[in-house]
Structure 1
Amino acid sequence: MIGISNNKIGKDFTFEEFKSFGMTIPKEESKKRIRILLWFLIGTFLFLFLPWTQNVRTKGFVTALRPDQRPQTVHSIIAGRIEKWYVAEGEYVQKGDTVLLISEIKDDYFDPLLLERTKLQVDAKTMSARSYSEKVRSLEIQIQALKENNVLRREQADNRLKMAELQVTSDSIRFEQAKVNFKVGVDQLDRAEKLYNEGLRSLTDFEQRELRFQDVQAGLIAAENKLLQSINARIAAMIELNAIDNDFRDKMAKASADMYEAMSSQFDAEATATKLENQYANYEVRTGFRHILAPQEGYITQAIQVGIGETIKEGAEIISILPGNAQLAVEMYVAPVDFPLLRIGNKVRFIFDGWPAIVFSGWPQITNGTFGGMVQAIDNFSGADGYYRVLVVEDPEEEPWPKALRIGSGADGISLLNDVPLWYEIWRQLNGFPPDYYTSREKAENRKTK
Structure 2
Amino acid sequence: METGLFTVNNVWMMVCTGLVFFMHLGFSFLEIGLTRQKNTVNILFKNVFIICVGLLVYYIGGFNLMYPGFETGDAGFFKFAGWGISAPENGMTPDYAEGGYTWWTDFLFQGMFAATAATIVSGAVAERIKLGAFMIFTLIYVGLVYPIVGSWQWGKGFLSTMSYGESAGFYDFAGSTLVHSVGGWAALIAVFLLGPRIGKFSADGKPQAIPGHNLPLAAAGVLILWLGWFGFNGGSVLSADPAGTSLVLVTTSLAAAAGGVSAFLLSTIMYKQYDLTMFLNGILGGLVGITAGADLMSPNEAVMIGFLAGLIIVLGVALIDKLKLDDPVGAIAVHLVCGIWGTLAVGLFGSKASVDQFLVQLAGAGAVATFCTLTAFGILFTLKKTVGIRVSEQEELEGLDIHEHGMDAYADFRMNQH
| Interval containing the TM-score (normalised by the shorter chain) | under 0.3
TM-score scaled to structure 1, two decimals?
0.13
TM-score by length of 2: 0.14
Q: Which has the higher strand share?
A: 1
Instruction: Answer 1 or 2: higher relative contact order, Cα 8 Å, separation at least 6.
Output: 1
Q: Which has the higher helix share?
A: 2
> Which one has the largest radius of gyration?
1
